[in-house]
Structure 1
Amino acid sequence: MGTNQNLTVAERIRKQFDSLTRAERQLANAILEDYPVSGLGSITAVSESSGVSTPTVARMAKKLGFGGFPQMQAQLHTELKATISSPIAKHDLWSESAPDTHILNRFADAVTENMRQTLKQIDPEEFNSVVDLLSDLKREIHVVGGRITRSMADNFFTHMQVMRSGVTLVAPNSNTWAHYVLNMNEGDVLVAFDIRRYEHDILRLAEVAKARGVKLVLFTDQWGSPAAKLATYSLNSRIEVPSAWDSLVVTLFLVEAVIAGVQTQTWNETKSRMKTLEELFDQTKMFKKFI
């Protein structure tokens, strides 16, 4: 399997999509539609649900670097187990074979590898399209995060609000989300954060927003949130580290890279807003002056 051995099935599909035949692309899209569950049936069931032949399923599995469909399916089972792992299960998994080195080194190695793998999978054109979408001042932007990822959402919102108008941070309490959806219009953008142990509320909000013609930009993990099937653009980052919790270091990297891209695109507007903001800071004496 070579360099593919650390990649998820979805990452392999995205990496090799352009080299697939038309039938294989049809199969790939079907698998990604309800990933990874869509690939867990028998080879006959997968072929029938995808509308392709069983030899097509077997060929694509080998083209993705597996010995055959059973090996690809075993990988999907492993991924499904990983996506529903509790913090205790994640801790037990890595601690069983943890190398006898300092946690700083082990954690740094894991984060570095996550960054390397993520950058290999990011499509620069798709990244540019995300920046273009968020830089369009005619579109309102709505930002939402989950139980853990709401810190990412808040970070993203704070920077975007400085750079442009029309940005709303959706409150973490899903009971109030209907009020936010009321203000979403066709062509607006919903930026959502959702990593494993994916949250039902995020998916439901994405469904309602899409029904109103809102475009979804999704920050998720290597397996992909169920909301990914609704996303106009999905930015996937690797999150596994030697910890009971997943790491958002690479997710934050992508967030800050997007922010930098939007800042470049909207600099005239951003510069004006930042000057006004600094004047307001001075009026409210928010920051200490040393000179």
Structure 2
Amino acid sequence: MTVRETIRRETAKLTASERKIANAVLADYPFSGIQTIQELAERTGVSAPSITRFVSKIGFAGYQEFQRQLIGELREGRRSPLDLKATEKLSDGDFLADYARRASVLLADMAAAVPQEQFDRILKLLSDPARNIFLLGGRISDTIAGLLSRHLRQIRPRIHHLSPNPEQWPDQLLNIRRQDVLVLFDFRRYQPDLARLAEVVANKRHPTIVLITDRWMSPIARHSDHVVTVPIENDTAWDTAICAVVFVEALIVKVSQADWPATKTRIEAWDELRLSPPISKNGERDDS
């Protein structure tokens, strides 16, 4: 369990001053917790002994152990396939069946961990036809952003998949308004250019930023309004994207249903403009 998860689990037991510390740690997680105890005390207006009692209440022997856990999480966020290979656990039997079993466990964990209210809030944002939706992911995760953007384009207008080339960002970012939404995907090992993009957009354009990441959390979380963490580790050298894909597919289904008459009209118009020949009543292509 991460420090973030531990704090949220223990929130009900905290005093008012301890909740103030917890909120400060979570607001700039994990970086605020890596400050010295004096710096955190000054930032929160709470005494150093109160911070010591806070970390003890959530299960740590002291502030140093609390910080070691946070630093360990930062290291986890940088682990590569070469690092993960050392702890890989492979089945000696039918690997495909075993891999599918692992995936089903992760999906159940994701469904239990992501609150329905959070899903509904993001769904409401993506379903609002007055909002432009901008999307981008990292070197690998941009394929998931592409999956979402391609489906959303068929469902509703104002969908924009940003270029992976930072030199093209200024022209595209000028179109972002305060009421718009930027959806970013970033998993370990996190991409510094995406974090910089999120910082610039948050400070200059002020849209709602939605981040899909893992439990160690991309630095983009510092600038995000909604952070969804999904499981990615499956005891192999390669992190899995299956939970992120299922989360995205669930969004696609519900966005299409939010205003089905409009979705139906758009898909019909879309199909009329496709270059492939239409299908005749007997099921064959009509090339006339």
Identity %: 35
**Paired AA for residue 123 in structure 2:** V
Residues 117 and 91 of structure 1: is their aligned pair in 2 closer, same or farther, counting only changes over 3 Å? same
Q: Are the equivalent residues in 1 in contact too, given 2:41–2:51 (CA < 8 A)?
A: yes
In the alignment, structure 1 residue 121 sits paired with structure 2 residue 121: no
Corresponding residue for 1:146? 138
Amino acid at match of 2:147: N
Distance 2:59 2:96 in 1: 33
Task: Say if 1:290 and 1:117 are closer, same or farther in 2 by CA, change over 3 A.
Answer: same
SS at match of 1:284: coil
- Do the aligned partners of residues 182 and 40 (structure 1) sit closer, same or farther apart at CA in structure 2, a change above 3 Å counting? closer
Pairing of 1:1-291 with structure 2 (within 5 A): 7-17=1-11, 20-41=14-35, 43-66=37-60, 69-92=63-86, 94-95=87-88, 100=92, 102-104=94-96, 106-210=98-202, 211-281=204-274, 284-285=276-277, 290-291=283-284
Structure 2 CA distance, aligned partners of 1:192 and 1:56? Answer: 36
Q: 1:221 to 1:290 in 2, by over 3 A?
A: same
Secondary structure of the residue aligned to 1:28 is helix
Matched-pair contact (CA < 8 Å) for 1:110–1:240: no
TM-score (norm: length of structure 2): 0.86
Structure of greater Rg:
2
Q: Using the alignment, how far apart are the partners of 1:130 and 1:18 within structure 2?
A: 26
Map of 1:3 onto structure 2? none
Give distance in 1, aligned partners of 2:102 and 2:253: 25
Cα distance between partner residues in 1 of 2:62 and 2:91: 32
Cα deviation, 1:21-49, whole Å, max 9, x if unaligned, reads 33222222322344323323555554444
- CA distance 1:167–1:86, shift in 2 (3 Å): same
Distance 2:11 2:259 in 1: 33
> What do the CA deviations read for 1:234-286 (whole angstroms, capped 9, x no partner)?
111111122222111001111111222212212121111111122233x5328
Retained in 2: the 8 A contact 1:106–1:242?
no
Q: Could you list the per-position Cα deviations for residues 174-230 of structure 1 after superposition, in whole angstroms to 9, with x for gaps in the alignment?
A: 111111101112211111111112112111221222221211111111111111121
Paired with 2:278 and 2:235, the residues of 1 have a C-alpha distance of: 39
Contact 1:11 1:121 in 2 (8 A): no
- What's the TM-score, normalizing by structure 1? 0.85
Matched AA of 1:225 = S
CA, structure 1 residues 132+241, in 2 after alignment: closer, same or farther (shift >3 Å)? same
Distance 1:9 1:116 in 2: 22
| Partner Cα distance (1:60, 1:108) in 2 | 41
SS in structure 1 of the partner of residue 29 of structure 2:
coil
Q: 1:286 to 1:148 in 2, by over 3 A?
A: farther
Does structure 2 conserve the Cα–Cα contact (< 8 Å) formed by 1:34 and 1:226? no
Quote how far apart the aligned CAs of 1:116 are. Answer: 3.1
Count of residue correspondences = 282
Specify the SS of the correspondent of 2:183.
Answer: strand
Q: 1:108 to 1:207 in 2, by over 3 A?
A: same
List runs of 5+ in structure 1 lacking aligned partners. 1-6
SS in 2 for 1:191: strand
Residue 273 to residue 16, structure 1, CA distance change in 2 (3 Å): farther
How far apart, CA to CA, are the structure 2 residues paired with 1:230 and 1:68?
Answer: 29
What is the alpha-carbon root mean square deviation over aligned residues?
2.6
